[in-house]
């Protein structure tokens, strides 16, 4: 069958790489893709929220399965768009419908969902411009640090963690009254601060059955030793060494199962990935957030460890028969290291020629572009280099080895991925 992957980052290159290994995949397309997806798929110059453009491509290329990489088209209702259109209704879409995507699109919706289904998470309250005084009073009664979250999508920037009460009140006012994060902060969730180590859990579900994919941990800060500004992710590892069998069982029993059961009880259909951001508080897992997609760069370590044919898994999602599938996971450790442009996550330059890509390694492109037969940088996060090893150190060192042969003007990567393990 012909398959389309929507998106153009490292996650989508990894999806294309894995899908292209399936014998069931005839023609693979990526929209818009990048210079990496061009090696295993046909890139189509269509944006991920251009639903009409996507429809035309699906019909023209007889595409039967669409995998949605990023959250934006899901939150905008791309799956619903397919279901509503008689020409598209038969096309399988991996990625939930709009209502379920609200788990990522609205923090308040996610918190209400977790409370309703007794899923452990930080205590919280939500406020609007009309209830700002209650919000300030709530902050006065709370202990620092104060956690303020814009309700809606804010490109990963909508969470503030503040030590000072006056600053927290000022930020609350700016979010609610001055649209600090635009429409996204017209509602604000204030949360109890949780202290612990974070990890990511990935689930693939058909709405009825599910498989829990390998866990991963990403390294979000730009600087070594987890310092400096937050980024989309500077590296990741899988499995996560502090996830013991007992801790994993808690995640499965207290979080994954009630999440799927909760969706069913609420009558919310879900076909696709669920990315559960977790924090280990003492010996207990709590949910920090839901995302309705895979993580990036977590995908770059999770998918290489999945031994199943990915198209078979997606077909099972589509047909509601994931219960017939046995997940097979490679035992070795995977690590990925992200090479970024100098300056990222603040201003950076694009258009730099990348050399050293001609290696038989798992080099996943994130922000790259083909120009006059050369691969150039086109984003802050440029390449994710994944390796396997017997242990974390071996895997990480192997990625550094590959990276030592890659170059572009301003290349930067963290030299300490896995330092804390």
Binding interface with ligand AMP (CB under 6 A): 122, 147, 149, 159, 161, 191-194, 198, 277, 288-289
How far apart, in whole angstroms, are the C-alpha atoms of residue 299 and residue 373? Answer: 27
Residue ranges that bind ligand GLY, judged by CB under 6 A: 218, 232-233, 291, 295-296, 298
Q: Which does 191 bind (CB under 5 to 8 A by kind): ligand AMP, ligand GLY, none?
A: ligand AMP
Name the residue nearer to ligand GLY (CB basis): 16 or 357.
16
Name the residue nearer to ligand GLY (CB basis): 212 or 291.
291
Q: Which does 233 bind (CB under 5 to 8 A by kind): ligand GLY, ligand AMP, none?
A: ligand GLY
Q: Which does 207 bind (CB under 5 to 8 A by kind): ligand AMP, ligand GLY, none?
A: none
Q: Which does 96 bind (CB under 5 to 8 A by kind): ligand GLY, ligand AMP, none?
A: none
Closest distance of CB 147 from ligand GLY, Å? 17
Q: In the structure, how many helices (H) and strands (E) does the chain have?
A: 13, 23
Name the residue nearer to ligand GLY (CB basis): 169 or 365.
365
Q: Which does 193 bind (CB under 5 to 8 A by kind): ligand GLY, ligand AMP, none?
A: ligand AMP
Name the residue nearer to ligand GLY (CB basis): 206 or 218.
218
Name the residue nearer to ligand GLY (CB basis): 7 or 233.
233
Largest CA distance in the chain: 60
**Spatial CA neighbour of 218 closest among 331, 303, 329, 296:** 296
Q: DSSP letters of 20-76?
A: TT-TT-S-EEEEE--TTGGGTSEE----TT-HHHHHHHHHHTTEEEEEE-SHHHHHT
84: helix, strand or coil: helix
Contacts of residue 13, defined as CB under 8 A and 6 or more positions apart, other chains included, come to 33, 34, 36, 37, 364, 365, 366
How far apart, in whole angstroms, are the C-alpha atoms of residue 333 and residue 398? Answer: 12
How far apart, in whole angstroms, are the C-alpha atoms of residue 182 and residue 133? Answer: 20
Name the residue nearer to ligand AMP (CB basis): 38 or 160.
160
Cα–Cα separations (whole angstroms), residue 50 to 62, 81, 294: 18, 11, 21
Closest distance of CB 373 from ligand GLY, Å? 31
Cis peptide before 316 (omega within 30 of 0): no
Name the residue nearer to ligand GLY (CB basis): 302 or 333.
302
Cα–Cα separations (whole angstroms), residue 277 to 208, 251, 385: 21, 11, 23
Q: Which does 218 bind (CB under 5 to 8 A by kind): ligand AMP, ligand GLY, none?
A: ligand GLY
Contact present, 298 and 238 (Cβ < 8 Å): yes
Closest distance of CB 140 from ligand AMP, Å? 18
Q: Which does 296 bind (CB under 5 to 8 A by kind): ligand GLY, ligand AMP, none?
A: ligand GLY
């Amino acid at each position: 069958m012909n398959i389309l992957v929507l998106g153009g980052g490292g996650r989508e290159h990894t999806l294309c790489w894995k899908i292209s290994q399936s014998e069931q995949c005839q023609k693979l397309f990526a929209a818009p893709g990048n210079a990496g997806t061009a090696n295993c798929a046909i890139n189509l110059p269509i944006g991920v929220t251009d639903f009409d453009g996507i429809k035309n491509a699906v019909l023209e290329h007889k595409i039967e399965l669409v995998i949605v990489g990023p959250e934006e088209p899901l939150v905008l209702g791309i799956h619903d768009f397919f279901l509503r259109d008689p020409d598209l209704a038969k096309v399988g879409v991996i990625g939930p419908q709009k209502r379920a995507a609200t788990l990522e699109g609205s923090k308040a919706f996610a918190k209400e969902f977790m409370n309703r289904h007794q899923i452990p998470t930080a205590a919280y309250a939500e406020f609007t411009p009309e209830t700002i005084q209650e919000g300030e009073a709530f902050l006065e009664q709370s202990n620092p640090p104060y956690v303020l979250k814009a309700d809606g999508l804010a490109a990963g920037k909508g969470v503030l963690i503040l030590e000072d009460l006056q600053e927290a009140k000022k930020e609350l006012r700016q979010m609610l009254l001055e649209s600090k994060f635009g429409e996204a902060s017209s509602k604000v969730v204030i949360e109890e601060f949780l202290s612990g180590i974070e990890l990511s859990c990935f689930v693939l579900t058909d709405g009825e059955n599910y498989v829990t994919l390998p866990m991963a941990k990403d390294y979000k800060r730009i600087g070594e030793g987890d310092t400096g500004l937050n980024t989309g992710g500077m590296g990741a590892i899988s499995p996560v060494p502090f996830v013991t069998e007992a801790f994993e069982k808690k995640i499965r029993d207290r979080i994954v199962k009630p999440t799927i059961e909760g969706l069913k009880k609420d009558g919310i259909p879900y076909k696709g990935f669920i990315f559960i951001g977790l924090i280990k508080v003492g010996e207990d897992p709590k949910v920090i957030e839901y995302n309705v997609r895979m993580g990036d760069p977590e995908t770059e370590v999770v998918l290489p460890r999945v031994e199943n044919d990915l198209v078979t898994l997606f077909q099972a999602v589509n047909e509601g028969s994931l219960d017939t599938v046995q997940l097979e996971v490679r035992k070795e450790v995977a690590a990925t290291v992200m090479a970024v442009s100098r300056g990222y996550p603040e201003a950076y330059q694009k258009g730099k020629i990348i050399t050293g890509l001609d290696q038989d390694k798992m080099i996943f492109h994130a922000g790259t572009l083909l120009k006059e037969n050369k691969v150039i940088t086109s984003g802050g996060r440029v390449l994710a280099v994944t390796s396997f090893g017997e242990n974390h150190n071996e895997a990480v060192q192997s990625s550094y080895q590959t990276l030592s042969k890659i170059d572009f003007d301003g290349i930067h990567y963290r030299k300490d991925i896995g330092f804390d393990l």
